[in-house]
Amino acid sequence: MIFPPKIIFEDEDILIIDKPPNLVVDRSETQKEETLEDWLADHSLKVKLDRMGIVHRLDKDTSGLLAVGKTQQAFDNLQAQFRERKTKKEYLALVHGLVEKGGRVEGAIERNPRNREKFAVLPTGKEAVTEYEPMERLQLAGNRLQDIFSDYNKIQMRRLGTLHYSLFTLVACRPLTGRTHQIRVHLKYIAHPIVADEKYVGRKMYRLDRRWCPRQFLHAKRLGFYHPGSGKWVEFESPLPADLKKSLGYLTEYGL
């Protein structure tokens, strides 16, 4: 494993991991690279649980906090808290366009019948709810835009202007349910797809984004729940990783 996960907290009941990007969480028949589940199998877990105790998932390119139950009781307790919406999850996402105010997306999600690798908001899907709040409205200022697209001619640069490509918002997202690709699908649904999200931002926009952002800009920043042993509320936080910090450094406050 090139980038082993960082352990944020560990006791006899739980393990809190800061997952790096490019690490798949679950084993599968098609997955040839080492997964988080493989890494946990080598870690000092005394009890071999289903999915090695991994309570919830993060997509391969999403970084941030994951909870692992080290005992069957802890695993069952945490799964019940996630199911009953007793946990607190907060993600940071950089999205296209200016998000003027916070809101709530209530859009049922299921696998996209036209592309089985994607998900979509469809009336026949499972209930999915995401709250979001703009943190910073940002822009790729003229000189940065010129640097990133230095090979573009005047016509191509004008097309970027027509696309309003230089405008972005850093958004805090709080998913109240846990559907696959939920935040990514919901943000696309409200016309603010995540920067460099290969599946949902669109092919043309993805190529533009990858010039300055190495992966989808989505990070699981905060995780809170009732400790399955003590019953006390615990909360953990993960700083924005270096690769996303670098991408954010290209941007300045909108309007300056």
Look up the CATH number of the domain holding residue 48. Answer: 3.30.2350.10
Per the structure, the complete domain to which residue 43 belongs is given by: 6-253
Q: How far apart are CA 116 and CA 135, in angstroms?
A: 33
Intervals of the chain under pLDDT 70: 1-3, 27-32, 44-48, 256
Catalytic residue among 13, 18, 59, 61: 59
Q: What is residue 125's DSSP assignment?
A: S
The region that residue 64 occupies, defined by phi over 0 for left and psi between -120 and 50 for alpha, beta otherwise, is: left
Q: Is 1 among the domain residues?
A: no
> 196, 215 in Cβ contact below 8 A?
yes
pLDDT the model gives residue 203: 94
User: To which residue do tokens 């490019």 refer?
Assistant: 22
End-to-end, the C-alpha distance of the chain in Å comes to 43
Task: State pLDDT tens for residues 130-142.
Answer: 999 999 999 998 7
Q: Is 239 among the domain residues?
A: yes
Vertex 84, ends 83 and 89: CA angle to 5°? Answer: 75
Amino acid at 247: S
pLDDT the model gives residue 253: 93
pLDDT the model gives residue 162: 87
Q: What is the bridge-based pairing of β-strands 252-253 and 129-139?
A: antiparallel
pLDDT the model gives residue 256: 57
The model scores a pTM over 0.85: yes
pLDDT the model gives residue 7: 93
Two structure tokens written together for 156:
């191509």
- 59 a catalytic residue: yes
Task: State pLDDT tens for residues 94-147.
Answer: 999 999 999 999 999 999 999 989 999 999 999 999 999 999 999 998 789 999
Domain count across the chain: 1
Q: Is 235 among the domain residues?
A: yes
pLDDT the model gives residue 87: 96
pLDDT the model gives residue 3: 66
Sign of the Cα torsion 61, 67, 72, 77 reads negative
